Amino acid sequence: MSALMEDIREAVLAVLPSLPEDKVQSLLNKLASIGVESKSDLQFIKEEDLLANITPIQCRRLLNAWQTQVFSTAADVERTKPLPESPRLIVLGDVLTATNWMLSIEGQVTVGPHQNIVAGMAALFSCYYVFNLVYQEEASSTLEFIQRCFIGINPTSGTKMTKWISPRSGKVHEKRNNSVSLHVSALLKRLMDFEWL
């Protein structure tokens, strides 16, 4: 049995430990026949894919476990998505309930997977400061807001933004070295006015 099938066998038995061996084998054959190539593919299985091999309740248990667990590895992420050169926090699982993360730099996953999302944000911002990088244009205002509001790195002058995109015109504007983003400053001021910070 291949290493992949052994991993999938363990994933099945972790959820259904009392499943008879003949059912396990028929289920593994079915998964191979429908194209499962990695453990992370298990999250895409549908109930109708498995009903011929196991009962509906067993099927639902497996699907629930596979869709909530995160099976992604660094190799899976690098193979499925082109990664940017700038540091990127890769959240594994559902965005609002994610429990795992990875960090990519220069197109490769360098850290992870780990479970503490707060540590992930710290690792992301550490990359920008340790390697003296500027924020990428598309996310510069968001990253500067997080930096100033939540992390507390709040210099009176200077910014890690070099360019910003105007929401009204869609044009890219060059950033002056000593200015703080007007959008970030305005949002922080409004939050302080409502005593949310």
What DSSP line would sit under the chain, residue for residue?
--HHHHHHHHHHHHH-TT--HHHHHHHHHHHHHTT--SGGGGGG--HHHHTTTS-HHHHHHHHHHHHHS----HHHHHHHSPPPSS-EEEEES-TTT--EEEEEETTEEEEEEES-HHHHHHHHHHHHHHTTPPPPGGGHHHHHHHIIIII----SS--S-SEEE-TTT--EEEPPTTPPPHHHHHHHHHHHHTT--
| pLDDT at res. 105 | 92
Question: Residue 171: CA atoms inside 13 Å, Cβ hemisphere, count?
Answer: 4
How far is it, in rounded angstroms, from Cα 27 to Cα 16? 12
The answer to whether residues 163 and 183 belong to one domain is yes
Q: Please, which residues bridge with residue 165 across strands?
A: 172
Give the residue from 84, 112, 131 where a domain finishes: 131
Give the residue from 17, 35, 68 where a domain finishes: 68
| pLDDT at res. 176 | 53
pTM of model > 0.85: no
The answer to whether residues 153 and 188 belong to one domain is yes
Domain range for residue 28?
3-68
The answer to whether residues 109 and 147 belong to one domain is no
How far is it, in rounded angstroms, from Cα 179 to Cα 182? 8
User: Tokens standing for 150?
Assistant: 């939540």
The answer to whether residues 144 and 167 belong to one domain is yes
The answer to whether residues 149 and 121 belong to one domain is no
Closest-CA residue to 72 (of 99, 32, 96): 99
The answer to whether residues 13 and 38 belong to one domain is yes
The answer to whether residues 123 and 147 belong to one domain is no
Low-confidence ranges of the chain (pLDDT < 50): 178
Domain count of the fold of the chain: 3
| pLDDT at res. 5 | 82
Closest-CA residue to 148 (of 102, 186, 110): 186
Mean pLDDT computed over every residue of the chain? 80
